């Protein structure tokens, strides 16, 4: 092989190997550019998200109560609505705990988000191809009812997450509970546990027992629909009776009620 042929073949071989290397470099540059753009978009979106959050760190409990009252009063239609702000000390302990057991049994254990329930709800929603199952804690419901709309967008859920974390960091569990018990909807034009106890059992919240509280808790998933079926038509389904039994069973397990009370409440005559 002549010297000229050798260099010619070497040049061809070099070009052959240079092409894949050049394509790899271009691909790496392209991917890097995409990553930078995506990171920039995420950073801007995160900045916008944080900017839209309320200043909870500088909000007092008195101010939080004022926000909650304003929200409820703006929704009320009937002047005879029985709405009045009620302190936790003015609610019977059994009434209070039946609502907690029904809505968020781990309320006093988690830091605002129940991740196990969240994963479980996501799996159920995926299987049913719907958004039928929720995993909102009481703290999340307070965040949503005070500051957000009822939309189900990802941006709104992220806002709810960060607001919930800030609420839990700033306020005590009892303060969050007091807000919840005064803004929760139990039926058409029925907001707060005081209105619910008067409208359904004509009782002061101090006198509502565990069985009555368990029935009231049935209304929370869909207040207007369940108020019509349960309270107005006295129709308690088998599924709802199982929920009442489960709530009372949890109350018995936590020793909030005695075994004798538990047995009596299972056959409680509501209407």
| pLDDT score of 33 more than 50 | yes
Q: 185 - beta bridge partners?
A: 191
Which residues are within 8 A (CB) of 251 and not within 5 positions of it... i.e. 6 or more apart?
A: 94, 97, 98, 101, 210, 257, 262
Residue 130 or 68, more confident: 68
pLDDT confidence of residue 62:
96
Q: Answer whether CATH 1.10.3810.10 is correct for domain 60-110+142-266.
A: yes
List the end-to-end C-alpha distance of the chain, in Å, as a whole number: 108
As a whole number of angstroms, the distance between CA 164 and CA 142 comes to 8
For 116-141, the pLDDT digits (tens) are 766 665 655 545 554 545 568 999 99
For 198-222, the pLDDT digits (tens) are 999 999 999 999 999 999 999 998 9
pLDDT confidence of residue 66:
96
Residue 6 or 185, more confident: 185
pTM assigned to the model: 0.81
As a whole number of angstroms, the distance between CA 118 and CA 130 comes to 15
Contact (CB, 8 A) for 191 and 81: yes
Indicate the domain borders of the chain.
1-52, 60-110+142-266
**Residue 147, SS3 per DSSP:** helix
Residue 39 or 91, more confident: 91
* Helix, strand, coil percentages, rounded to 5, for the chain: 70, 0, 30
Which residues are within 8 A (CB) of 182 and not within 5 positions of it... i.e. 6 or more apart?
A: 65, 68, 69, 72, 85, 86, 191, 192, 193, 194
As a whole number of angstroms, the distance between CA 220 and CA 104 comes to 12
**Total number of residues shown for the chain:** 271
């Amino acid at each position: 092989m002549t010297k000229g042929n050798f260099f010619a073949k070497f040049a061809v071989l070099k070009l052959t190997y240079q092409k894949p290397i050049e394509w790899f470099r271009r691909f790496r540059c392209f991917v890097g550019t995409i990553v930078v753009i995506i990171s920039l978009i995420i950073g801007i979106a995160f900045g916008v998200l944080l900017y839209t959050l309320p200043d909870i760190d500088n909000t007092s409990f008195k101010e939080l109560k004022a926000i909650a009252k304003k929200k409820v009063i703006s929704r009320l239609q009937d002047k005879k609505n029985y709405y009045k702000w009620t302190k936790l000390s003015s609610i019977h302990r059994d009434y209070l705990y039946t609502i907690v057991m029904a809505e968020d049994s781990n309320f006093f254990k988690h830091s605002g988000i129940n991740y196990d329930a969240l994963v479980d709800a996501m799996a159920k929603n995926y299987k049913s191809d719907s958004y039928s199952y929720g995993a909102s804690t009481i703290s999340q419901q307070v965040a949503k009812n005070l500051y957000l709309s009822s939309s189900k967008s990802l941006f709104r859920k992220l806002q709810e997450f960060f607001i919930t974390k800030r609420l839990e960091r700033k306020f005590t569990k009892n303060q969050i509970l007091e807000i919840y018990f005064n803004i929760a909807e139990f039926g058409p034009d029925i907001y707060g546990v005081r209105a619910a106890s008067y409208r359904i059992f004509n009782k002061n919240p101090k006198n509502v027992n565990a069985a009555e509280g368990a029935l009231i808790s049935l209304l929370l998933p869909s207040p207007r629909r369940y108020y019509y079926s349960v309270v107005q038509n006295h129709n308690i389904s088998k599924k709802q009776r199982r929920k009442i039994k489960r709530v009372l069973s949890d109350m018995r397990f936590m020793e909030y009620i005695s075994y004798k009370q538990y047995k009596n409440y299972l056959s409680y005559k509501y209407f």
